Structure 1
């Protein structure tokens, strides 16, 4: 059998590692994340195709940041060229997130580039307790924030809000992209 291609191999190894660290069975993790055991089994074998939402659910169920599930161990010097990096798509919106840098156990923050197109908004469930989102729009226009408190942003605008409550992202112009820092306390 051939090895799965990254990032699937990275995700598979991370899921096994984190599940074993927590000391729970495949069935228990599937239950906690609201997934079918067969789906989780496929992900751990590197044959599944996880969405952003699936990985967020698994991260919350394991008590780890999303990045710990998609980021391989980091070398001393790391370069991510434009268009490279683990790029994941939303199931419900024209939304892509590329992880640029994951935090360590001492610096609990992750850095992403988000690409969005007008259409359906990306509804995000609450992340780990104490999570804070910091976002800077690079191009286009974006509506984001906690449900019922969304604000419109343009190029160069910055916003921060709690990531541990439901929130959303919606592109208002084609070619919208932003830099997101997820801070985990």
Structure 2
């Protein structure tokens, strides 16, 4: 099942499970009613920011909306899996592993190019992000104290505060683990 179809099913399931109308979800997420309707019909093309806002409004992690609930053994080859682009910066987030029931962590592959930084609003309270830079160079972390990372560097920071990811060289990639305590 492709990303749009998975998103449509998950979004409707979570919205109805929360007892929210399309209008109320749109209001809470700060997006248009048309955007929510298009996503539920499988015709929308959302940005990372839109999906984070909708997930936060529903009280569910981003991964709940895009995970394909694959079997235990799972291989994802670079380029074979559709990611979700940012609307504001050259940044692509690909969910590699969603949190299993009873756990609270998701794993993403981040691919970014130099340009406008990816600025994230605070996620749910208690969120910590763990970043390992794989290639390139990037400024990452809390808005008020980001760090310059090189390949192999690891950084842990509060995801429930404003934070940034800014690629400083072409072909920058990282593995991001988001956990909620």
TM-score category (smaller protein): over 0.9
Asked whether 1:171 is paired with 2:170, we answer no
Asked whether 1:98 is paired with 2:94, we answer yes
Listed as ranges, the matches of 1:47-126 within 5 Å are: 47-126=43-122
Structure 2 residues not aligned, in runs of 5+: none
Match of 2:180 in 1: 184
Residues paired across the two proteins, number? 181
Runs of 4+ in 1 over 6 A off after TM superposition: none
Match of 1:132 in 2: 128
Match of 1:155 in 2: 151
Q: Deviations over 1:24-66 (max 9, x none)?
A: 1111101100111111101100011100000000000001110
Q: 2-side partners of 1:35 and 1:85: how far apart?
A: 26
Q: 2-side partners of 1:160 and 1:20: how far apart?
A: 35
Match of 1:16 in 2: 12
Q: 1-side partners of 2:171 and 2:86: how far apart?
A: 16
Q: TM-score, normalised by structure 1?
A: 0.95
Structure 1 residues not aligned, in runs of 5+: none
Match of 1:145 in 2: 141
Q: 2-side partners of 1:172 and 1:61: how far apart?
A: 32
CA RMSD of aligned residues (A): 1.0
